[in-house]
Structure 1
């Protein structure tokens, strides 16, 4: 039985001498033919008995010799990985170049710590392509292009992959990707989310984003609670309604009519990547986490509005403006002076606390609070500066649904905490 490789350029049984740096290597023609044609076969075809002198690293060449002799490459770190690829180019070893390029691992140094990351660990949709895929591809393509097009004597110097980030955080991300569970503080969770965005682990980011998913037995629907800042506008949707109820895209249970006598359709949300297989999007409950939302109760008209300002307004627009415009609702019509977005609101089903005290009857709130406050009359678009009797509450934290009906908007409060004035705000301050 012949041991000659398919492409036999050198006598298989003959030994050839290679002086790499300060070390002499002896290797058979069979091994040199295994990844040919290459620099070695080109030389020894013309100089069969000579010794080939190569001014390269003998440590790196030992790995390359293992490859030529049929062993799998045992690369330990990003330096070996990079230098092996450079020498695979220099020695013109096509099969080794492909093996390194299609390696099962990413080799990288993060903050001084070496990582060997299995590509299968990062292969889920959303986690790939990622930072490591792109930097590795750049390493291969850029170095090879420069070396070949400029006809250099040797490959250009290339630093091993290094990332100036926290190795501890990347270790945590690897643990999560492997299916592990971590006890995370809110601050640590936010740091890991930032790391996911840097490395483009977009699916893992969504798994880390704080979210509460539950089945609402009254509305017979599934709901998801998210902070407004964590919502991606691309994945917000409004269920289509057909004039023929039997043709509705998303059938609405009979229990849904809970706000006055109008059936409001709640905006829905499907989290990217992690909810891709859901048959239908969940009803969205979004959270305001700061004091940039204010409730205005107009006493005589018995109406309620919520005014949104600052960064909360900017974020609200970025999340909902596009999907509302697609449904012929223009948010600009709700914008008032002083950069306020003023939306009609319903608190009839809201679990609310005012000045830390539970408020059982929100509709009677203005009558119960015995003081004569003057607030802006948002019911009079012709004279926005007019003051009328009412009540203003600053929301410190609140949960909302956004209802749609006949091209109209309604902010439906689910849960809220509010304060009624400066004294109550001062109570919330702590000592340093």
Structure 2
């Protein structure tokens, strides 16, 4: 579009006037396609483009087209912007929002989660990256089965209403590197259950109770963990020169070296043979 030309777009009950330079800043788009198609019409001036969408959301899209960085205010604002970025076929804005913070409501609170926080070893892929990748990967996947509709359907922001926002806030702090002060064994177990739900496997291993001690008989270090925290992928059988077979263990995604394993068994748990544990 001619950069010096001014184009009129009415969204809802509000008229916007944008330069060709602004409209061309994120193109090809619904706007550039429409006005280019009118170039050889009999009108001396370009016609007004009428769109029955929200002028409030469009104001932020105008700021984006004018070169300003648009930051979603909350989960609803994010969904509205993302839906209209696809509706108006704005590839740069859609990509910007796809790579922005993850906006989600946990319990009664909203969280803005930096994506880089969810890429640590063992913590990715997880509940959020998997959900957002499949939900926001393309217009067809954002609004499946809507080809031919005149507008996208209403979409609610991602939410997990049945889980604790307090526990999730503590997990976020742990992902940032802040140590968690466990109030009780029950508190630790509640956090571990949340780790498993959100698929934070690496964080789970960092939060399980364990102890490392020196075995005076073998001169090697032991690692002691609860049976319910045992992960088969962390175990291996080691044969020594004395034909003594030992099970070695390192916490997945956390430990670099394996240590001789000591399993803590509670009264209501069964003791399994080493090869049964590994096979299971």
TM-score, normalised to structure 2's length? 0.89
Q: CA deviation at 1:179?
A: 1.5
For 1:176, the equivalent position in structure 2 comes to 174
Shift of 1:21: 1.7
**TM superposition score normalised by structure 1:** 0.59
The aligned runs of 1:35-50 (5 Å cut-off) are: 35-45=26-36, 46=38, 48-50=45-47
Q: Which residue of 2 aligns with 1:253?
A: none
Match of 2:205 in 1: 206
Paired residue for 1:31?
22
Residues 1:83 and 1:14: Cα distance change in structure 2 (over 3 Å): same
Aligned residues: 271
Equivalent residue for 1:153, pick from 150, 156, 168: 150
Partners in 2 of 1:121 and 1:99 — Cα distance? Answer: 17
Name the larger-Rg structure: 1
Distance 2:121 2:57 in 1: 35
Once residues 55 and 320 of structure 1 are traced to their aligned partners in structure 2, the CA distance between those partners, rounded to angstroms, is 66
How do residues 23-422 of structure 1 correspond to structure 2 at under 5 angstroms? 23-45=14-36, 46=38, 48-103=45-100, 105-141=101-137, 144-145=140-141, 146=143, 150-164=147-161, 165-184=163-182, 185-241=184-240, 264-275=244-255, 277-278=256-257, 281-290=258-267, 292=268, 311-313=269-271, 316=272, 320-321=275-276, 323=278
3-state secondary structure, aligned to 1:138? helix
- Gap runs ≥5 in structure 2: 40-44
Secondary structure of the structure 2 residue equivalent to 1:96: helix
* Partner SS for 2:238: coil
Give the CA RMSD over aligned residues.
2.2
Secondary structure of 1:239's partner?
A: strand
3-state secondary structure, aligned to 2:102: strand
Q: In the alignment, what sits opposite 2:8?
A: 17
Alpha-carbon separation, structure 2, partners of 1:112 and 1:23 = 34
> Conserved in 1, the CA contact under 8 Å of 2:239 and 2:245?
no
- 1:55 shift after superposition: 1.1
DSSP 3-state at the match of 2:69: coil
Q: Which has the higher contact order (CA 8 A, sep 6+)?
A: 2
Contact kept in structure 1, 2:239 and 2:246, CA below 8 Å: no
- Structure 1 residue 263, shift from structure 2 partner: 5.4
Q: Cα gap change, 1:284/1:193 in structure 2, threshold over 3 Å: closer, same or farther?
A: same
Moved over 6 A (4+): none
Cα shift readout 1:314-345 (whole Å, capped 9, x = no counterpart):
xx36x7416479xxxxxxxxxxxxxxxxxxxx
C-alpha change, 1:27 and 1:147, in structure 2 (3 Å) is farther
SS of 1:267's equivalent in the other structure is: strand
**Cα distance, 1:187 vs. partner?**
0.9
Give the Cα–Cα distance (whole angstroms) in 2 for the partners of residues 162 and 118 of structure 1.
Answer: 16
